[in-house]
Amino acid sequence: MGILNVTPDSFFDGGRYRQEEAILIRTEQMLEEGAAIIDIGAVSTRPGAKTIPIKEELLRLLPAIRAVRKYFPESVISADTFRASVAREAVDAGADMINDIGGGSLDPEMYSVMAKLQVPYVLMHLHGTPESMQESPLASNALKMVLSYFLEKIGLLKEAGVGSIILDPGFGFGKTVESNFELLSGLRSISELGYPVLVGLSRKSMINKVLGTKPEDALNGTTAANMIALMNGANFLRVHDVKYAVEAVKIYAYIRSAQQPIYEHPSRSQDR
């Protein structure tokens, strides 16, 4: 899943892709590099970000969706929004799925709207709100709490009639560095709930705080974290750098298909 932020203030690439030409060039690049999904977001949800009016979100989001749908008709488009009314209009404009960082908690109408739209829905765990999530981040028992959250929300979604659900543990959304890595190491438990798992680790502070890097220097750390996520059961990687994520997926797929160690110590070789 390639990230396309049509925002002025996202933490890594804010302001780069606000004009149609830049949006289309970036989309083409990500598709050529192997992106299966283009995730278009019009509201920054970085820590401390201020929300914007619905009208402004629509003015940013809908033209981008329409442009990508027109020029890349075979692409799969995800609309990154936590607002039910925006989700409805995004699908009408050509989006194929909804990626909701609020998991329905930021708009009580989201589940009923998703039931009517009948498109795939990414259910993300958010502790708090984008404005407040790092004031009192989830510091302990993160995996247990996220699993409990998903079980509750899945029940509500199924009761509402939502058919296709993807789970996202919400790395960086109201968690400490330690709780983020607890979730990463325990990701297999989330995949065992029986739904596809999406992870968004790309260039986030959980990587930068461990490595002492800035977002622009965090590609290597992101790739390492993505590989751990794949090995622990992730099905989708949401990334800024599609080429490198696709390479990680190919290496992981080769390991899985080979069904053998990728390295044999010389002392154990049959040729010794």
Task: Quote the crossing angle between the two packed helices 177-185 and 219-231, to the nearest 10°.
Answer: 40
User: Which of 50-59, 135-144, 173-182 comes out lowest in average pLDDT?
Assistant: 135-144
**Predicted confidence band at 268 (pLDDT cuts at 50, 70, 90)?**
very low
**Predicted confidence band at 150 (pLDDT cuts at 50, 70, 90)?**
very high
Residues forming a β-bridge with 80: 41, 99
pLDDT for position 270? 46
**What is the pTM (predicted TM-score) of this model?**
0.90
pLDDT 10s digits, 164-209: 999 999 999 999 999 999 999 999 999 999 999 999 999 999 999 9
Domain layout of the chain by residue ranges = 2-268
pLDDT for position 271? 43
pLDDT 10s digits, 60-87: 999 999 999 999 999 999 999 999 999 9
pLDDT for position 135? 73
Tokens of 133: 């999530």
pLDDT for position 269? 44
Question: Could you tell me if residue 170 is left (phi over 0), alpha (psi between -120 and 50 degrees) or otherwise beta?
Answer: left
Residue 133 has pLDDT above 70, yes or no: no
What angle is formed at CA 158 by the lines to CA 200 and CA 98, rounded to 5 degrees? 35
Tell me whether residue 66 is one of the annotated catalytic residues: no
pLDDT for position 194? 97
Higher pLDDT, 47 or 61: 61
Catalytic residue chosen out of the listed positions 18, 175, 238, 256: 238
- In the chain, the amino acid numbered 22 is A
**Predicted confidence band at 48 (pLDDT cuts at 50, 70, 90)?**
low
- Regarding the domain with residue range 2-268, which homologous superfamily does it belong to in the CATH classification? Dihydropteroate synthase-like (3.20.20.20)
- Whether the CA torsion 64, 70, 75, 78 is positive or negative: it is positive
Catalytic residue chosen out of the listed positions 60, 83, 175, 204: 204
pLDDT for position 259? 64
User: Which of 13-22, 212-221, 241-250 comes out lowest in average pLDDT?
Assistant: 13-22
Inter-CA distances, 194 with 119, 145, 164, 187, 236, Å: 18, 17, 12, 12, 14
The whole-angstrom separation of Cα 56 and Cα 53 is 5
113 contacts 137 by C-beta, under 8 angstroms: no
- Whether the CA torsion 67, 70, 74, 77 is positive or negative: it is positive
Tell me whether residue 83 is one of the annotated catalytic residues: no
